[in-house]
Amino acid sequence: MARAPAQSSTTRKPPAPRPRRKAASAAQAAVVTMSEAELAHLVERAAEQAAEAVVRRMLLNFGIDISSPIGIIEAQRDFAHLRGWRRARDTVVKQGFAYTTTVVIGGLLAALYMKYGPAK
């Protein structure tokens, strides 16, 4: 036969209920109403500000200071210089490939001429 659990001398009391918050006054509980156009404008403005902050931080991480016009002009000149180097490299690569191809084909044609050229 199973025994019933023994009652302890101290009984547990249920936890005290939490005090409820007081109802907000009319000034605190004011509801803001706005049209969809106003809400869309606020969201658009917040998105623009967030995007601007992210871009500014990203450019600063790259070492581009956009807080002054001089910093922007220096960055533009740096990019123009890099563009010039890229174009020069592209030209060298293109012409180097053309010269290499010409030399290889000329060498093959010369070898073929030496081997199968006119009989002596």
- Three-state secondary structure string covering 68-89: CHHHHHHHHHHHHHHHHHHHHH
Name which of 60, 90, 55, 53 is nearest 75 in CA terms.
Answer: 60
The pTM (predicted TM-score) of the whole model is 0.47
- The predicted pLDDT at position 22 comes to 64
- The predicted pLDDT at position 87 comes to 96
pLDDT tens string 62-118 = 888 888 889 889 989 999 999 999 999 999 999 999 999 999 999 999 999 998 887
Tell me the average pLDDT of the chain. 84
Among 9-18, 37-46, 60-69, the least confident range: 9-18
Dist CA 2 CA 78 (whole Å): 89
Dist CA 78 CA 59 (whole Å): 14
Asked if residue 43 has pLDDT above 60, the reply is yes
Instruction: Give 32 or 5, the one with higher predicted confidence.
Output: 32
Contact 59, 66 (CB under 8 A): yes
